[in-house]
Amino acid sequence: MSAYINLGRLLHEARHLADAESMYRRALATQGDDPLLLYNLGVLLEDMHRKNEAMQAYEKALRGNPRLADCHYNLALLYKKLGRPKQALRHMAQYRRLVGTQPD
């Protein structure tokens, strides 16, 4: 699994976004719903300006591992951008509980 994640991240960092998405989705199809893989897919989808799909990936990642602090943080920001303050506050509060600090 980590090979797929690493390759996907390398492709993402190199701005080969479609290739990175293909790698992540192939990994999901063959390896199952790994929370870290779903989180990385969410980050990629955000970078591709596909906010709704990114939220779905983040939410699915959190169903697999509700302790992914960065996932809660990213969701809070997305919900805030989309005018959904209640959901944004819920995820920011969970982020703060997990990391024990306030974000800058």
10-residue mean pLDDT profile of the chain (104 residues): values are: 83 95 93 93 97 96 97 97 95 95 54
What is the pLDDT at residue 102? 53
Residue-wise over 63-100: b if at least 16 C-beta within 10 A, else e? ebeeebeebbbbbbbbbeeeeeeeebeebbebbbebee
In whole angstroms, what is the distance from residue 68 CA to residue 6 CA? 18
Q: Which fold has domain 2-99?
A: 1.25.40
Under 8 Å between Cβ of 4 and 23: yes
- Written as one letter, the residue type at 103 is P
Residue showing tokens 């990175």: 20
Position 99 scores a pLDDT of 94
pLDDT at 43: 97
pLDDT at 4: 80
pLDDT at residue number 37: 94
Its sign, for the CA torsion 57, 22, 43, 9, is positive
The model's pTM: 0.89
